[in-house]
Amino acid sequence: MIWRDILGFLFPSECLICRQALQLGEHHLCFICLGRLPRTFFWSWPQHPIQRPLNDSLPVAGVHSWLFFSEHNTVRPLVHHIKYQGGAVLARYLASQAALEMGSGLFGCSPIFIPVPLHPVKLRQRGYNQSFCLAQGLQQIWGGAIEHEALRRLRHTKTQTGMNKEARKQNLAKAMAWNEIGESVEGASAIVLVDDVLTTGATLAACWEVVPESLRAKVHVWTLAAAFGS
Ligand SMILES: [Zn+2]
């Protein structure tokens, strides 16, 4: 950490949002921009306004999203950076910041984080799965384990940008499969499906549908951001 600060001092990089040079102790974002990110503050509420509309398609124990996502707010360029500009380190950093704010009691003492998988072709193209990197950031603060092979994407689905809820559902039909991951999952305090942005919930619902029934009661969803009201 100290070396990173020294390097940052010698070769200052810019805040991804305001483009001001980062100061000692700042990483990726200046403290002002980090503080101004639009938090949902819904993460520990039961049946909050993001979760309620998803009750039929995604009846999980809890939906926990740190930030609001919109086409025009500061979260969009961050998500773009995470997905398309080699932002694996940024994903880990933001998820760890989120976990620090969301508190230690959210998922109990031994959660299992399951990243939403990319198809192997897309994984090769991108070089990393951003959801796996987010899970690493969460694990850094909350402990537990990551089971990145629990879910498998069977089909290389089309990009979902611009699709409505029904089109997304069709696009994702039978796209996921569950792999047996051993006994650790049985004793987990929570099973947390991890994704970058929650929009219609179609991707997470496709994941939830293949989770064995015996485990479903402890499934939660964690996303970095949520598109509210879309
Ligand atoms: Zn800034």
Task: Give 24-56 pLDDT, tens digit per residue.
Answer: 999 999 999 999 999 999 888 888 888 898 989
Q: Report how far ligand 1's centroid is from the alpha carbon of 5 (Å).
A: 17
Q: What pLDDT is attached to residue 226?
A: 96
Domains of the chain: 1-36 (no CATH), 39-226 (3.40.50)
pLDDT value at residue 184: 74
Alpha-carbon distance 20 to 30, whole Å?
A: 8
Whose structure tokens read 């979760």?
A: 51
Q: Which of 149, 167, 179, 150 is nearest to 203 (CA)?
A: 167
The pLDDT value recorded for residue 7 is: 58
Alpha-carbon distance of 136 to 91, in angstroms, equals 9
For residue range 75-100, what is the model confidence (pLDDT) as tens digits? 999 999 999 888 999 999 999 999 99
R_g (Cα) of the chain, nearest Å: 17
Q: Would you say residue 113 has pLDDT above 60?
A: yes
Contact between residue 196 and residue 131 where contact means Cβ atoms under 8 Å apart: yes
**Residues 133-183: tens digit of each pLDDT:** 999 999 999 999 999 999 999 877 666 666 677 776 677 777 899 988 766
Distance 75 CA to ligand 1 centre (A): 12
How large is the greatest C-alpha to C-alpha distance in the chain, in angstroms? 54
Q: For residue 151, which of 91, 191, 121, 200 has the smallest C-alpha distance?
A: 191
pLDDT at 130: 96
Q: 198 C-alpha vs ligand 1 centroid, how far in Å?
A: 25
Q: How confident is the model at residue 215 (pLDDT cuts 50, 70, 90)?
A: very high
pLDDT at 106 over 70: yes
CA 85 to ligand 1 center in whole angstroms: 18
Question: Chain-wide mean pLDDT for the chain?
Answer: 88
Distance from the CA of 19 to the center of ligand 1, in angstroms?
6
Q: How far is the CA of 216 from the centre of ligand 1 (A)?
A: 40
CA of 38 to the centre of ligand 1 (A): 14
Give 25 Cα–ligand 1 centroid separation in angstroms.
Answer: 13
194 with 161: CB under 8 angstroms?
no
